[in-house]
Amino acid sequence: MLRKSKKNAHFFRHLKGSKENYSKLVCVTAYDYTFSKLLDESGVDIILVGDSLGMVVQGHPNTLSVTLEQMIYHTQCVSRGVQEAHLCVDMPFMSYQVSPEEALRNAGRLVSEGGAHSVKLEGGIAIAKTVEKIVSAGIPVLGHVGLTPQSFHQLGGYKVQGKTVSAREALLKDALALEDAGAYALVLEGIPAEAAQAITEKLKIPTIGIGAGPHCDGQVLVLQDLLGLNTDFKPKFVKSYSSLSTLVKEAVTQFSTEVRSSRFPTQEHSFYAGS
Ligand code: KIV
């Protein structure tokens, strides 16, 4: 885990050049104040306001309907819980694809109104110019290649990418283009471990994997998956470190039982005029 002073994009960008400071990066998503405070106190390096909120908060089947206003709102909530971690936010679908100018304006809003420290964009060579524009305005960018959920329809679903030699070469070119454009790190999602290893070895900036094997310079998970809160579906790359869904149901069931049997509230949880 990195110290507070080292949780910034400049430091992440140069992390691999520094043997004494090198430590794998830990990134977890958050969408609200309560959990962001807990993640921050747990010492994660990067808190990501992911557009996965479209699924885990809003209940949609994918991330495509999430708006810029919603991302700003959730980033504001999360930023109030952040003291030490780096706060990155996803640029939602169609907030950066139309033109580099529009992308910069929207990235600026996520920073100035939302309180984000950096923004994440999905895509490779096709968005390199946009990344360059945002970075040259002073806003750090986290890249994201491989299985890019905003291209759900183009990819034909959530499928592992980079399985063929040519697809792996294309992925590497995308990754290098983002590094050249000034990205401080790169999320590698849903690609074979060998492909992630090859990219990680070629890049000077750190890679942060999700479903990309053990060789990346860091790992990211969606909070609800990590905590075992998501009962809808569990992909192979997810490890749940708790079973919060069971704990939540047990707690609420006990509350219901006590209310229905008049065992809650007791005197201990009640106010009295005379005391
Ligand atoms: O939206 C998200 O949560 C993400 C991470 C899973 C990398 O992009």
Please report the beta strands in 30-85, taking only residues with DSSP state E, as ranges in sequence order: 46-49
- How far apart are the C-alpha atoms of 110 and 259, rounded to whole Å? 43
- How far apart are the C-alpha atoms of 272 and 275, rounded to whole Å? 6
Helix (H) or strand (E) holding 117: none
Label residue 77 by pLDDT band (50, 70, 90). very high
Residue type for position 102 = E
pLDDT digits (tens, 9 = 90+) for 236-247: 999 999 999 999
Residue type for position 172 = L
Per the CB < 8 A criterion, the answer to whether 66 and 74 are in contact is no
Residue with tokens 């309907």: 65
Helix 128-136 × helix 165-181 angle, to 10°: 20
Q: Is 136 exposed, middle or buried (0-12, 13-18, 19+ CB in 10 A)?
A: exposed
Residue 197 predicted with pLDDT over 80:
yes
- Nearest residue (by CA) to ligand 1, atom 2, is 50
- How far apart are the C-alpha atoms of 247 and 24, rounded to whole Å? 30
Whole-number mean pLDDT of the chain? 96
Please report the beta strands in 75-120, taking only residues with DSSP state E, as ranges in sequence order: 86-90, 118-120
Is 220 close to ligand 1, i.e. is its CB under 6 Å away?
Answer: yes
- How far apart are the C-alpha atoms of 108 and 114, rounded to whole Å? 9
Q: How far is the CA of 249 from the centre of ligand 1 (A)?
A: 26
- Nearest residue (by CA) to ligand 1, atom 8, is 50
Q: How far is the CA of 20 from the centre of ligand 1 (A)?
A: 29
pLDDT digits (tens, 9 = 90+) for 90-99: 999 999 999 9
Label residue 56 by pLDDT band (50, 70, 90). very high
Percent of the chain with pLDDT over 90: 92
Q: How far is the CA of 87 from the centre of ligand 1 (A)?
A: 13
pLDDT at 7: 92
Structural domains of the chain, ranges and CATH numbers in brackets: 9-242 (3.20.20.60)
Residue 179 a catalytic site member: no
Residue with tokens 């990680």: 200
